């Protein structure tokens, strides 16, 4: 019997590339995102292995309905990946930008994490993966909400990892994927150490297969995180 994965934010970038790797590995993958035409185009590459559900993660109430539909369709779920995310500079603290970032990266993510975790608890097993960011390590004066939202995600995923370790009668894994810069639409404009999408995604998939608690992508960002975490804020703000 094939394994089942659900990928939130599979219309482009990391989520799309990861969905392809999962399908190549024999998974049946339910892909979501707002852009239906992108979901349909991905499904057309391998119609038997993809199921599509158009969904906006900021529509929190619809996530309950969607998750029920997903369970009805797949019956069992081995892996849930949350790759949906938005972020960019917000020099003037425009509220709409901050709100959308919180709605997608914090509220939307927390809702899906909770639905997936509780489903896995009932099912007796499952693997939850969140794509956070190196941005979660410290603050940033240009992109405050994105950095804060990823910090929230780091902390929340670690909490779920701890919870899973103490959950009896269920074998639940939780992985926090922490990318540096990856060649996608989101990283347009950033110039250094940008990992090609295929290399980064392969490392992400390796970390998922190893059920790592936390994985920096590419690996060198782990050392950046250690350094940046202990740096005084006055120095950090010169570079971030």
Interface residues toward ligand NAP, by CB under 6 A: 9-15, 33-35, 38, 56-58, 83-87, 104, 131, 133, 179, 181-182, 184-187
Q: Residue 16 — φ and ψ, nearest 5°?
A: -65, -45
Sheet (strand 4-8) strand order: 50-54, 28-33, 4-8, 79-82, 125-131, 171-179, 214-217
Helix (H) or strand (E) holding 188: none
Nearer of residues 87 and 126 to ligand NAP, judged by Cβ: 87
Angstrom distances, CA of residue 229 to CA of 137, 139, 152, 218, 226: 6, 10, 15, 18, 5
Nearer of residues 1 and 44 to ligand NAP, judged by Cβ: 44
Nearer of residues 133 and 173 to ligand NAP, judged by Cβ: 133
Which residue has 């901050």 as its token pair? 98
Instruction: Provide DSSP, 58-75.
Output: T-HHHHHHHHHHHHHHHS
Nearer of residues 121 and 194 to ligand NAP, judged by Cβ: 194
Provide the minimum distance between the beta carbon of 126 and ligand NAP in the complex, in angstroms, as a whole number.
20
Nearer of residues 85 and 126 to ligand NAP, judged by Cβ: 85
Nearer of residues 57 and 116 to ligand NAP, judged by Cβ: 57
Q: Where are the alpha helices (DSSP H) in 10-108?
A: 13-24, 36-45, 60-74, 95-101
> Which residues, at least 6 apart from 25, have a Cβ–Cβ distance to it below 8 Å?
none
Nearer of residues 200 and 236 to ligand NAP, judged by Cβ: 200
Provide the minimum distance between the beta carbon of 170 and ligand NAP in the complex, in angstroms, as a whole number.
26
Provide the minimum distance between the beta carbon of 236 and ligand NAP in the complex, in angstroms, as a whole number.
17
What is the DSSP pairing of strand 214-217 with strand 4-8?
A: unpaired
Provide the minimum distance between the beta carbon of 150 and ligand NAP in the complex, in angstroms, as a whole number.
7
Helix (H) or strand (E) holding 30: strand 28-33
Provide the minimum distance between the beta carbon of 55 and ligand NAP in the complex, in angstroms, as a whole number.
6
Provide the minimum distance between the beta carbon of 85 and ligand NAP in the complex, in angstroms, as a whole number.
2
Please report the sign of the dihedral spanned by the C-alpha atoms of residue 182, residue 184, residue 187, residue 191: positive
Helix (H) or strand (E) holding 104: none
Provide the minimum distance between the beta carbon of 168 and ligand NAP in the complex, in angstroms, as a whole number.
32
């Amino acid at each position: 019997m094939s394994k089942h994965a659900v990928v939130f934010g599979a219309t482009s970038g990391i989520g799309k590339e990861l969905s392809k790797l999962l399908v190549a590995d024999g998974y049946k993958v339910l892909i979501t995102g707002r852009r239906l035409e992108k979901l349909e185009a991905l499904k057309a590459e391998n119609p038997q292995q993809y199921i599509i559900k158009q969904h906006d993660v900021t529509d929190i109430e619809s996530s309950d309905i969607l998750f029920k539909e997903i369970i009805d369709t797949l019956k069992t779920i081995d892996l849930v990946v949350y790759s949906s995310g938005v972020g960019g500079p917000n020099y003037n603290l425009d509220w709409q930008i901050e709100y959308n970032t919180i709605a997608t990266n914090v509220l939307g993510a927390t809702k899906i994490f909770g639905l997936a975790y509780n489903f896995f608890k009932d099912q007796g097993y499952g693997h939850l993966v969140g794509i956070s960011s190196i941005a979660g390590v410290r603050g940033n004066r240009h992109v405050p909400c994105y950095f804060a939202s990823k910090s929230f995600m780091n902390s929340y995923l670690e909490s779920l990892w701890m919870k899973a370790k103490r959950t009896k009668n269920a074998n639940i894994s939780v992985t926090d994927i922490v990318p540096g810069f990856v060649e996608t639409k989101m990283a347009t404009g950033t110039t250094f150490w940008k990992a090609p999408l295929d290399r980064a995604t392969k490392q992400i998939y390796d970390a998922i297969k190893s059920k790592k608690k936390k994985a920096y992508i590419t690996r060198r960002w782990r050392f950046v995180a250690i350094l940046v975490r202990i740096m005084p804020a006055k120095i950090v703000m010169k570079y971030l």
